[in-house]
Structure 1
């Protein structure tokens, strides 16, 4: 049963959501440029498949380290300053790509980019937890997560034209400057809800209607987070499924080039189609669980039914490499990309379902690091498979099975999501009596 006000009394929170959407868009533009330029850079600079795999590996390594650092830092200093620092670091790193030539130089630039980009989702999901009641969080997460797809759509539209007319260096410079435009808007507009000058009392009450009490603002140590099954369920799910999205970002242009003969001038439309479908999946996946909850399903049932639908929709990707028709391949991969983004929208929201907002960025960082480690393994694996087998088939078979396995692990570790699984740190005098308590069911 709902409690508190049922009318929002304002839309400032959706303005915040728009900022989060655009930050994620820029994040993915900067991240994906190298994937779009891979055939060009391999031709101009003489990279092997293993060289490219190594460059992606170091981005993922930095992303993992950065997530472990960024989560606790953002929980400590807040979303406003944390997001500002993150986008500054990754924008400078994006610009630095234009100055290097060797695989080692690109690996260093990608490492710096990974450190900065790691702050995006911990800061964004923490902002959602602060600005939205639980019944709206999956939709808000889906909208900001759709920025990843818009970035992936914009990149093949923007980058080939810049690279063909002004050189690949100009592509890194032009996209790297976008972050500084967003930074100015963020610093001007973003404040915590209770400090924002444009939030009405009614909207503030609506935002806080079903959030945790003030106890939810107390810090939670990493030692306590790792003692809870909810943390491990998120870690396992990210480790298994994030690499599939990295596969799309960093290897999909190469797949279309190798399997269907496309190049810098022609693989834009297929990539745009894939990421348009991913956008639908991101918002649709968030909408699905929110709609189920509003129709009387529990939070547990709503989130997990949405996750199941997404996991099943990924399965056809296992035959994507054997399909000779380009439209059919685009449809299959686009469905998988849509399913991944719907999956992610609900997986992110599970963090704010099961943890107080004082721990959201930390848990996001831990899980994101696990996903990046999975991406590191994937980068070396894909590079090796392409060098030895010369086909994407083994990679797509692995991708198709990852989500159902991840969902099974999530359900075993956290059978119910109906209540906050991890309360804030409790006074020392009470710890002896509660130290053995497992997740609240």
Structure 2
């Protein structure tokens, strides 16, 4: 059996990685669409005339809708499948992204961001569920890390593209151009994607590799059943505690760099690109690290949490960023923190598929994402109020740097061994 393993591995196809590439493209577009406002915020603030607190309300509108959307998206995707569920989500967010071009006031941006949040909420539940359908557990963290890198690619593309488009045709054109990318992806998804068993380009060997984990229960799990398990709460807690830090970087990084280092629309791009390039490396490295630990013989529990600890320690030095006078040293600290966050996310997003059957993964991800968005709303309100009253980021970055180690402790207390959740559900007719 051992001697035949290399030969079997050599015959395993790679179509599942093409699916991962589609998820990478969708996540990239997702973050391009949401990051346009983050790039233009310091300059739209002058044109529209919003205050720090009003900008916090605009950000909170997106997060509130994102939270609501995640609660619905997970259930919809689990019910209708990834192909249709993903298509519905990206249709909504494409229209909403382009709808920003119609906004001319704080209220207009609040409405546009709310609609965008509803649509974009479907991306991660759909992508994580797709990974659970297409990859065995030992490959999932790497696959999640790869598609999650799209969040950084999108955040790199946005500061490259948005200032050029805005300078040439106005800020409205930036929203229109980026929103159109979603529609292109939608056509490709609907024409190319099928589940593994229905995809003719998947070999029998690759399908066997995809399904090489022990069989999972096919019983549909109601939400109330999910929330009775500590494993679900470990994921919810991880998202609630650490997602707000990512929201902080996403929507306030441009404002922080502009206010602290005097950057303009023409000069803000390179520092933001460096930060998100570092985050890209962290996203893939965090997923790779857990797999590497498992190849060394570590248990799933030890490997996953070991990788999360490394990532958490990478975030901690960001507490010093407000004491730094040099722009590029500040960029390095923030970039390291964002790399740590993305590596952390690559592992946290695999927790639902580590502990729950595929039929429940999108719902668990949706519930956790809801918690993360609620935490993000609280962070946005706090950040806006803190900046309005003191103008200082010190307390904000202190919270950000300490969140991940605290979250890891909570995860370990709730799921000390990452054991699969056990369900005793009746297999009744129509269940």
Q: Determine the structure 2 residue equivalent to 1:421.
A: 421
Q: Determine the structure 2 residue equivalent to 1:285.
A: 286
Q: What is the DSSP-based 3-state SS (H/G/I as helix, E as strand, rest coil) of the residue aligned with 1:212? A: coil
Please give the alpha-carbon distance, in whole angstroms, between the structure 2 residues aligned to 1:218 and 1:15.
29
- The answer to whether residue 30 in structure 2 is matched with residue 38 in structure 1 is no
Q: Determine the structure 2 residue equivalent to 1:389.
A: 390
TM-score normalized by the length of structure 1: 0.94
Query: Which stretches in structure 2 are left out of the alignment for 5+ residues?
Result: none
Please give the alpha-carbon distance, in whole angstroms, between the structure 2 residues aligned to 1:8 and 1:31.
40
Q: Select the residue among 161, 180, 185 that pairs with 1:182.
A: 185
The one-character-per-residue Cα deviations of 1:264-308 (angstroms, maximum 9, x if unpaired) are: 110100000000000000000000001111111000000000000
Give the conservation status (yes or no) of the 8 Å contact 1:135–1:290: yes
Give the conservation status (yes or no) of the 8 Å contact 2:144–2:350: yes
Q: Select the residue among 187, 196, 199 that pairs with 2:199.
A: 196
Please give the alpha-carbon distance, in whole angstroms, between the structure 1 residues aligned to 2:101 and 2:398.
36
Q: Determine the structure 2 residue equivalent to 1:146.
A: 149
Give the conservation status (yes or no) of the 8 Å contact 1:355–1:423: no
Q: Determine the structure 1 residue equivalent to 2:297.
A: 296
Please give the alpha-carbon distance, in whole angstroms, between the structure 2 residues aligned to 1:109 and 1:63.
12
Q: Determine the structure 1 residue equivalent to 2:331.
A: 330
Please give the alpha-carbon distance, in whole angstroms, between the structure 1 residues aligned to 2:10 and 2:383.
50
Give the deviation of 1:428 after TM superposition: 6.8
Q: Determine the structure 2 residue equivalent to 1:364.
A: 365
Map 1:20-419 to 2 at 5 A.
Answer: 20-213=23-216, 215=217, 217-417=218-418, 419=419
Please give the alpha-carbon distance, in whole angstroms, between the structure 1 residues aligned to 2:235 and 2:215.
20
Please give the alpha-carbon distance, in whole angstroms, between the structure 2 residues aligned to 1:333 and 1:163.
26
Give the conservation status (yes or no) of the 8 Å contact 1:220–1:424: no
Change (3 A) 1:60 1:211: farther
Please give the alpha-carbon distance, in whole angstroms, between the structure 1 residues aligned to 2:30 and 2:289.
26
Please give the alpha-carbon distance, in whole angstroms, between the structure 2 residues aligned to 1:7 and 1:249.
41
Please give the alpha-carbon distance, in whole angstroms, between the structure 2 residues aligned to 1:311 and 1:125.
22
Please give the alpha-carbon distance, in whole angstroms, between the structure 1 residues aligned to 2:111 and 2:316.
36
Give the deviation of 1:425 after TM superposition: 3.5
Give the conservation status (yes or no) of the 8 Å contact 1:243–1:374: yes
Change (3 A) 1:211 1:62: farther
Please give the alpha-carbon distance, in whole angstroms, between the structure 2 residues aligned to 1:8 and 1:132.
16
Please give the alpha-carbon distance, in whole angstroms, between the structure 2 residues aligned to 1:269 and 1:78.
40
Please give the alpha-carbon distance, in whole angstroms, between the structure 2 residues aligned to 1:381 and 1:26.
29
Change (3 A) 1:14 1:212: same
Please give the alpha-carbon distance, in whole angstroms, between the structure 1 residues aligned to 2:117 and 2:244.
15
Q: What is the DSSP-based 3-state SS (H/G/I as helix, E as strand, rest coil) of the residue aligned with 1:177? A: helix
TM-score normalized by the length of structure 2: 0.97
Q: What is the DSSP-based 3-state SS (H/G/I as helix, E as strand, rest coil) of the residue aligned with 2:178? A: helix
Q: CA RMSD in A?
A: 1.6
Please give the alpha-carbon distance, in whole angstroms, between the structure 2 residues aligned to 1:374 and 1:211.
35
